[in-house]
Amino acid sequence: VLAGWPDAAAVPHLMTLAKAEDNTRHHVLAVRGLARLAARQADQPADLEMLAEIMSLAQRAEEQRVVLGVLAGAATVDALLKG
35-83 pLDDT, tens digit per residue, is 999 998 888 888 999 999 999 999 999 999 999 999 888 776 666 666 5
Q: How far apart are CA 50 and CA 53, in angstroms?
A: 5
pLDDT of residue 24: 94
pLDDT of residue 79: 60
pLDDT of residue 78: 67
Beta carbons within 10 angstroms of residue 64's beta carbon:
15
